[in-house]
Structure 1
Amino acid sequence: MDFIYQCQSLDEVREQIDRIDQALVALIAERGLYVEQAAAFKNSTAEVEGGKRVDQVIRRVTRLAGELGADPELTAAVYRTMIGHFVASEMKLYQGRQTPL
């Protein structure tokens, strides 16, 4: 981390956490929009499930966590949960495209 604000009170700590939560939720929402776009390019359930890609992402974020001072196990767990949700959402979109009208 380049700079961490040195809080002078619990209220200041909570303000910083709330600021970070706002940014994290916005980034999760943005990531979800890209996942929706990705679904349009996939042609099979195997592509939607993306086992190899999931492994690549988990390895990358685990490495990044170590570099940035985050807990690698926590980071990997958060990403596995997030990716699991996004894969399920993507699968619904994919299956919806497969249903004949």
Structure 2
Amino acid sequence: MLAPDDCASLTDIRQAIDGLDREVLTILGKRMQYVLAASRFKSDAKSIPAPERVASMLVDRRRWAEENGLDGDFAESLFQQIISWYIARQVDYWRAQRGLQ
């Protein structure tokens, strides 16, 4: 993949963005594998949301975003959505694994 300053056309830029988006989605898929694996360590569905952990995560994600020149509010909002969606999937998975669907 070309560095941004090495791109010679809009096509180069778009190909690089498409490649990065694919990487992001691959990573989100790997993240899901860990989220589902974590359900093995949860004693009940009520323990899955872990609000203290989520609050701590959001602080870190905001800081990491700002360290990379991104807007902290945007990153926090984005991760709130990501985390909420993953929690819902983990609850569904937890219940399915125990025949509670």
Does TM-score exceed 0.5, indicating one fold?
yes
Aligned partner letter, 2:12:
E
CA RMSD after TM alignment? 1.4
Q: Residue 94 of structure 2 aligns with which residue?
A: 94
- Superposition deviation, residue 98 in structure 1: 6.2
- Superposition deviation, residue 12 in structure 1: 1.3
TM-score, length of structure 1 as denominator length: 0.86
Write out aligned runs for 1:1-101 (5 A): 4-6=3-5, 7-96=7-96, 97=98, 99=100
Of 69-78 and 47-56, more deviation after overlay is shown by 69-78
Aligned pairs, how many?
96
TM-score, length of structure 2 as denominator length: 0.86
Question: Where does structure 2 lack aligned partners over 5 or more consecutive residues?
Answer: none
Question: Where does structure 1 lack aligned partners over 5 or more consecutive residues?
Answer: none
Same amino acid, percent of matched pairs: 24
Aligned partner letter, 1:35:
V
